[in-house]
Amino acid sequence: MSENTSNFIHDFIDEDLASGKVEKIHTRFPPEPNGYLHIGHCKALVIDFGTAKKYNGLCNLRMDDTNPAKEDTEFVDAIKEDIHWLGFDWDDRFYYGSDYFEKTYELAEELIRNGHAYVCELTPEQFKEYRGDLTHPAISPFRDRPMEESLDLFRRMRAGEFPEGKYTLRAKIDLASGNFNMRDPVLYRIRYIEHHRQGTKWCIFPMYDFAHPIQDALECITHSLCSLEYEDHRPLYNWVVEHCDLPSTPRQIEFSRLNITNTVLSKRYLRYLVENNIVDGWDDPRMPTLCGLRRRGYTPEAILDFIGRIGVAKANSMVNIGLLEHCIREELNMKAQRRIAVLNPVKIIVDNYPADKVEYFEVSNNPNDPEAGSRKVPFTREIYIDADDFSENPPPKFFRLKPDSEVRLMGAYIIKCGEIVHDAEGNVTEIHCTADLETGAGTPTDRKVKGTIHWLSAEYAADTEVILYDRLFTEENMNELPEGKTYIDYLNPESAVKCANVKIEPALADAEPGEKFQFVRIGYFAKDTKNENTFNRVVSLKGSYKPE
């Protein structure tokens, strides 16, 4: 979706440009401010902003606050922040759908006057009952109400004379249409609910299908790009644009929604997780929200790379979450500096190393980036290694530290396992070793040492907490769950495993919030932006998913 790529939407746009139907491309991104943006929105906004960019056009940011329920300025601010973070901008073209309420109302009155809309008084139950089916048209006993009467009722609806549900305004289109959206759809309904920007000014609210095309046309949007569930609404979109006096004729084009394995991408579900404290807020590092991914350690580059790779298609599909993980892994492999961390430390005492001695070994900051340089790490008599790198009863082919054998300490000496000390419960508390002080960081010529493990000086290491994040859900396809099950039944109990007693290189204690590293042999980690002394696992070093 960069300026150079093309897709079926761009093919349509090319046609419209070639035929002279449009001159300058103008798109919009219309999020509803009732939650935080997630990676699915990201696909939509990359299409909207990216298409404008490709054609040297414009893209508006419009808060779709037509529906008065549950909107909040917290969400508006967060949406702006997330779009900027991805590198897109709307300049001064920031709008609220609700700012068009007055104009939308005027257009509705105009439809009534022109005989294209009428006030209906079917109850919601009757409405359903009279909808008809594929072989029977809908029934609407009020569609021939005289224009003056509809106009009077509509004005009184606005004035607050009637209770909710008493009347609706409906378009007069086609009760027999095979497309149910065209069977005299509701344009306005009565709702006594405070609007986050309009306060109590309105007690009638336009339906999305009426408001959205009007908003697009008023902003002179040329191409209204949206997800596939709006395809069946396109005839109504076009009807509204055609029957209302509007300054432009936008073209709606639909693309497939993004679905990702082991993930839910519905604000309603995400909100539930937040409100019920199943996760630690919208920016919990396991959330598919942009703020969650950012806190986890994802970069805009990796997310945009992912969106570019999945492409823009017309058919809905499920994308493997492994691809997203692959994108950040690939980027951090090139960019992240290497550091040492011991997640589950066990102490080694190098018996033949002087207690008061310190020496420094030089290690590379990033073998993939010569400019990253190197740093010196201190070696002392007492060091930590990871408990996983030692086995008292090793399985076959265990090449790390085991009784009576040798292992290479990464960038330093070869050590040989000696006495193993246990506590009363039989846990290993420390391991005595001897180092081959002759070879230093070199390789011995008289024997082969297979394993290499990482280590930290016990004297110099700092302490931290690490959280090993993993997928939030255990099921691949969270869209098709067995009957009687909900997504809550598939929460991964190991989606956030805390390691409380982690040893790290001393300089890591001063890492900036959000700074990212590769912990050698473990994975990629980001310093948390909320908790002072925590590192979040972004992604493991290797994944089982292989992109094509």
Binding site for ligand ATP (CB under 6 A): 30-32, 40-41, 43-44, 64, 226-227, 257-258, 265-267
Residue type at 110 in one-letter notation: E
Both tokens assigned to 198: 């309009």
Report the alpha-carbon distance of residue 316 to residue 305 in Å, rounded: 20
> Which residue number, 32 or 475, has a Cβ lying nearer to ligand ATP?
32
CA count, 13 A, side-chain hemisphere, 245: 11
Q: Are 497 and 467 in contact (CB under 8 A)?
A: yes
Q: How far is the CB of 507 from ligand ATP (least distance, A)?
A: 41
Contact of residue 185 among ligand ATP, Mg ion, none (CB under 5-8 Å per partner type): none
Catalytic residue of the set 32, 71, 331, 475: 32
> Which residue number, 129 or 232, has a Cβ lying nearer to Mg ion?
232
> Which residue number, 41 or 326, has a Cβ lying nearer to ligand ATP?
41
> Which residue number, 217 or 461, has a Cβ lying nearer to ligand ATP?
217
Contact of residue 22 among Mg ion, ligand ATP, none (CB under 5-8 Å per partner type): none
Q: Are 228 and 240 in contact (CB under 8 A)?
A: no
Q: How far is the CB of 227 from Mg ion (least distance, A)?
A: 9
Catalytic residue of the set 54, 131, 191, 257: 257
Contact of residue 248 among ligand ATP, Mg ion, none (CB under 5-8 Å per partner type): none
> Which residue number, 200 or 317, has a Cβ lying nearer to ligand ATP?
317
Q: How far is the CB of 101 from ligand ATP (least distance, A)?
A: 18
**Which residues are near Mg ion by CB under 5 A?**
32
**Pick from 81, 147, 92: which is nearest to 114 by CA?**
147
Task: Extract long-range pairs of 404-409: CB within 8 Å, 24+ residues apart.
Answer: 406/436, 406/447, 406/449, 407/449, 407/451, 407/452, 407/453, 408/449, 408/451, 408/452, 408/453, 409/379, 409/383, 409/385, 409/435, 409/452, 409/453, 409/454, 409/455
Report the alpha-carbon distance of residue 45 to residue 39 in Å, rounded: 10
Report the alpha-carbon distance of residue 321 to residue 326 in Å, rounded: 9
Q: How far is the CB of 47 from ligand ATP (least distance, A)?
A: 8
Contact of residue 257 among Mg ion, ligand ATP, none (CB under 5-8 Å per partner type): ligand ATP
Active site residue 450: no
Active site residue 498: no
Catalytic residue of the set 197, 234, 267, 408: 267
Both tokens assigned to 34: 């009732």
Active site residue 257: yes
Contact of residue 266 among ligand ATP, Mg ion, none (CB under 5-8 Å per partner type): ligand ATP
Q: Are 211 and 185 in contact (CB under 8 A)?
A: no
Q: How far is the CB of 219 from Mg ion (least distance, A)?
A: 18
- Give φ, ψ of 41 to 5 degrees: -60, -35
Catalogue the active-site residues.
32, 257, 267
